[in-house]
Amino acid sequence: MQILSKSLVFIFLLIINFSSAYGQLRGLIQGEDENEKKPIYNAQIRLKNAKIGTFSNEDGTFELSLPKILPDTIIFAANGYYNDTVIVSKTDRFSAISVTLYSIRALPEFIISSRRKSSSISKMKTLHVEELTSAELRKAACCNLSESFETNASVDVNITDAVSGAKKIRMMGLDGVYTQVQMENIPYLGGLESSFGLHSISGTWIESIQITKGTGNVVNGYESMAGLVNLEIKKPAEMEKVYLNVFQNIFGRSELNANAGYKLSKKWNTGWLAHASSVYGQIDHNHDNFRDLPTGDNIAFMNRWAFQGDKMEAQFGFNAYQDRKVGGQMGFVRGMQQEPNPQDFKYGVLLNSKHVDAFLKTGFFGKRPNQSLGIVYNVKYQEIVGSFGIRDFSGIEKRGYVNAIYDDYFGTLDHKIKAGASLVLLDISQTADSLYQQRTEIVPGAFAEYTYTSSRLTGVLGARYDHHSLYGGQFSPRFHAKYIIHEKTDLRLTAGKGWRVPNYMIDNISLLANSKQWIAPAEIKPEISWNFGGSIVQEFKLFNEKGSITFDLYHTTFENQLIVDRDVTVDAIIFSNLKNASYSNSFQLELSISPIKNFDIRLAYKFLDVKAKYGGEMRQQVMIPRHRGFVNLAYISRNKRWEYDLTCSVFGASRLPVQEDASNPNQQVNDQLSEVYPMVNAQITHVYKVWNFYLGGENLTNFKQKHPIIDAQNPFGSKFDATNIWGPIMGINLYAGVRYSIKQKKQSKN
């Protein structure tokens, strides 16, 4: 590790010595409409001669790589505003500009057409951040967060067992608990939500998703170990005045989503988001007398408010949901007795989750640009009660969170600083079978981050210190750098430490779907990891259309990891702490091209090497395919009335946990492999004015894992196991839906 750290420092110093050739122009683009200025989102910024460009962020900021040959003319264009131009020369390589476009509402309407890719790597970010826009989320059924990554190669979504319908995300081959999930920079889906929380938020609420590989910035906390997923929810000022989405599939799943945004005054906006879904079809396509998909219902609601003042801004609101599921054998209903005798009693799965949280975000502006103070508050209550057959579990979580961040710079904008403090208060209790765990955490922390920006190099050096009331202090240094090798080539490097306190019961609750005994760890220790990696993004032109190729490689090594060992014996699941005996290597290559206008192709290959000591030997982690191929095709007709999307993933073989030899029950079989299988999804969307009609299919090859439940005929016996899931258990799924949306009208001056 010392050699690798010295190498990173050497690379950083070497890069600084060569950071003088090209430049990146930073700026802000605003629109003036009826004497009111506001940032313009998705405005096009394009160099006339170099024929390269970018788009503005949600806050109107942008960053444009300047070519070697200057001067050149920048063209600024946005729908509903006059175009504007600015001439840049070599002296502008180190400068920042502000541009205001004026409304054309008083003149006959004309349209400036531009198209932003629905999935892209942000050129402005120092870290490797992949952004999925709402257009990308609409390519699939995407009615909850677990379905929002179907057209993405970086994040895998896995079914955890064959009876509960629970799903988990994986990044770089590591379980989702090592990926920090945030909702607009507020911690989300942690604790008791780690196993079933992906179903809790509707995909129609999401404006965009940012996926960061490697450890995140220190301002986001200490739990980012393999990556960070940030969810941007639709903003009250920009969201639709009315939005409705109705969905139905052939498995008896019905959904209704309704959003509404209102501009109450010049400074106040509010948004309402609602979701209701129900699964009422009892499906058993593999004829094992178990539901392939649990029935139940989910109701979720969010209300948020936004205030925009001259010297401060604020957002606040609350989010609540209730999720109920019933799974298990056909005919089992809620309230049915679940004793193993007599024989006519059925094996059932019950899941009941309740959640409510409230948040407040305040921002205060300083006297000079980039000077601000932001404070985030969040309180959460989570309750979960359920059972797998005769094995019960329950949990209650109460959480408070405060994070204060001060932004400023010294000298010039090339030297930025962030500093702040955070506080986490947590009271969590869990029960699984005869195991019980309760703990109260108080974790104050402080952090600081320095960002250096030159014409070609951006370096971020940060550190935080957190003191855990039970486990003492933890120091977490992190380093990120972006270097512009060429105006179309970006190199990124990252290194850092992350840690978390494991919740071994809820994190692995699906492993109750068998008859194996749980052997608890001797003690709970914080999991600590170091992540090192980087990426290269190369842009190019093909058929006069923009394309890119991305290569990334990351290594995660654990100082301590709480592993789930399923290889020691077929009769037990053993939890144990491993010291310096587990790691993950992740390699991904992705190509994005547009051979013709409005036709996008993304090809990706991913290799995962995830190993730890299982059964006393270094082995690949179970249920993780080492290889994955990915293809996504998307086409929009010239009149933008029709949208066609096709996604195909091929998953390689996964290692299975130790199993009993069918021919010799006294022998155990290790290192068996699953089958290689494809997953093909497709969707067609027709746009007619304010209506969208879509029709789609999932798992179109109808591939299904054979016998997903071991000894399904004897669910209360010693061999029953519904946790060896490596592929889909449902066949072809067809769905249809309708979207209806009306945009908000701009408020007049009166």
DSSP states along 646-678:
EEEEEE---BPPPEE-SS-TT-EE-S-B---EE
Mean pLDDT across 122-130: 86
- How far apart, in Å, are the Cα atoms of 311 and each of 268, 358, 365, 368? 14, 24, 5, 12
Residues with Cβ within 8 Å of residue 703, at least 6 apart in sequence: 677, 678, 679, 727, 728
pLDDT for residue 601 is more than 60: yes
Please give, one letter per residue, the 3-state secondary structure of 510-560. Answer: HHHCECCEEECCCCCCCEEEEEEEEEEEEEEEECCEEEEEEEEEEEEEEEE
Q: Are residues 102 and 125 in the same domain?
A: no
The listed range with the strongest mean pLDDT (45-49, 299-303, 612-616, 636-640) is: 299-303
Percent of the chain exceeding pLDDT 70 equals 91
Residue 287, in any domain of the structure: yes
Q: H-type helices in 27-179, by residue range? A: 134-137
pLDDT for residue 128 is more than 80: yes
pLDDT for residue 341 is more than 60: no
Residue 166, in any domain of the structure: yes
Buried b (16+ CB within 10 A) or exposed e, 286-315: bebbbbbbbbbebebbbebebebeeeebbb
Q: Which of 54, 86, 114 lies at the terminal end of a domain, its last residue? A: 114
CB–CB of 477/463 below 8 Å? yes
Q: Are residues 505 and 581 in the same domain?
A: yes
- Residue 107: pLDDT band with limits 50, 70, 90: very low
Nearest-5° angle of CA 76, CA 79, CA 81?
A: 65
pLDDT for residue 44 is more than 50: yes
Q: Are residues 570 and 595 in the same domain?
A: yes
Mean pLDDT across 99-104: 83
Residue 4, in any domain of the structure: no
pLDDT for residue 11 is more than 50: no
Dist. CA 235–CA 238, nearest whole Å:
5
- Residue 35: pLDDT band with limits 50, 70, 90: low
Q: pLDDT at position 49, please?
A: 82
Give the least confident one: 6-15, 80-89, 179-188, 368-377.
Answer: 6-15
- How far apart, in Å, are the Cα atoms of 153 and each of 135, 148, 156, 674, 746? 17, 12, 7, 21, 38
What domain range includes position 31? Answer: 24-114
Q: Are residues 512 and 419 in the same domain?
A: yes
SS3 504: helix
Dist. CA 16–CA 20, nearest whole Å:
8
Dist. CA 31–CA 489, nearest whole Å:
31
Q: Are residues 684 and 738 in the same domain?
A: yes
Both structure tokens of 259: 């959003």
The listed range with the strongest mean pLDDT (3-7, 284-288, 307-311, 397-401) is: 397-401
**Between residues 243 and 46, which one has the greater pLDDT?**
243
Q: pLDDT at position 396, please?
A: 98
Mean pLDDT across 678-689: 96
| 6 class by beta-carbon count within 10 Å (0-12 exposed, 13-18 middle, 19+ buried) | exposed
pLDDT digits (tens, 9 = 90+) for 497-516: 999 999 999 999 999 999 99
Percent of the chain exceeding pLDDT 90 equals 67
- Residue 349: pLDDT band with limits 50, 70, 90: very high
Residue 402, in any domain of the structure: yes
Dist. CA 616–CA 624, nearest whole Å:
19
Dist. CA 357–CA 346, nearest whole Å:
36
pLDDT for residue 340 is more than 80: no
When computed from its CA atoms, the radius of gyration of the chain, rounded to whole angstroms, is 26
- Domains: count for the chain: 2
Mean pLDDT across 464-478: 97
Q: pLDDT at position 85, please?
A: 87
Q: Are residues 158 and 86 in the same domain?
A: no
pLDDT for residue 21 is more than 90: no
Give the least confident one: 169-183, 334-348, 350-364, 653-667.
Answer: 334-348
CB–CB of 360/382 below 8 Å? no
pLDDT for residue 2 is more than 60: no
Q: pLDDT at position 343, please?
A: 53
Can the peptide bond before residue 39 be classed as cis, meaning omega within 30 degrees of 0? Answer: no
Dist. CA 235–CA 601, nearest whole Å:
30
- Residue 7: pLDDT band with limits 50, 70, 90: very low
pLDDT for residue 12 is more than 90: no
Residue 750, in any domain of the structure: no
Q: What is the phi/psi pair of residue 735, to 5°? A: -145, 160
Mean pLDDT across 387-395: 95
Mean pLDDT across 356-374: 91
- Residue 221: pLDDT band with limits 50, 70, 90: very high
Q: pLDDT at position 344, please?
A: 61
Side-chain-side CA neighbours of residue 572 (13 Å): 10
- How far apart, in Å, are the Cα atoms of 588 and each of 153, 554, 629? 9, 9, 10
- How far apart, in Å, are the Cα atoms of 655 and each of 623, 650, 652, 704, 721? 6, 16, 10, 18, 16
Q: Are residues 142 and 101 in the same domain?
A: no
Both structure tokens of 364: 């205060």
Dist. CA 736–CA 124, nearest whole Å:
37
Q: Which of 87, 114, 141 lies at the terminal end of a domain, its last residue? A: 114
Residue 604, in any domain of the structure: yes
CB–CB of 213/233 below 8 Å? no
Give the least confident one: 138-142, 267-271, 419-423, 448-452.
Answer: 138-142
Residue 9, in any domain of the structure: no
- Residue 48: pLDDT band with limits 50, 70, 90: confident
Q: Which of 76, 94, 114 lies at the terminal end of a domain, its last residue? A: 114
Residues with Cβ within 8 Å of residue 707, at least 6 apart in sequence: 286, 288
Q: Are residues 557 and 631 in the same domain?
A: yes
pLDDT for residue 20 is more than 60: no
Mean pLDDT across 228-240: 93
Q: Which amino acid is at 684?
A: I
Residue 575 is part of a domain; what is its CATH number? 2.40.170.20
Q: Are residues 65 and 170 in the same domain?
A: no
Residue 73 is part of a domain; what is its CATH number? 2.60.40.1120
CB–CB of 53/44 below 8 Å? yes
Q: pLDDT at position 744, please?
A: 83
Give the least confident one: 93-102, 402-411, 512-521, 588-597.
Answer: 93-102
pLDDT digits (tens, 9 = 90+) for 519-553: 999 999 999 999 999 999 999 988 788 899 999 99
Nearest to 362 by CA among 285, 307, 439: 307
Q: Are residues 104 and 132 in the same domain?
A: no
Residues with Cβ within 8 Å of residue 91, at least 6 apart in sequence: none
Q: Are residues 138 and 81 in the same domain?
A: no
Dist. CA 744–CA 329, nearest whole Å:
48
Mean pLDDT across 398-419: 93
Dist. CA 464–CA 415, nearest whole Å:
19
Q: Which amino acid is at 348?
A: G
- The rounded mean pLDDT for the chain is 89
Residue 13, in any domain of the structure: no
- Residue 83: pLDDT band with limits 50, 70, 90: confident
Q: pLDDT at position 367, please?
A: 82
Q: Are residues 255 and 108 in the same domain?
A: no
Q: Which amino acid is at 377?
A: Y
Give the least confident one: 77-91, 238-252, 514-528, 606-620.
Answer: 77-91
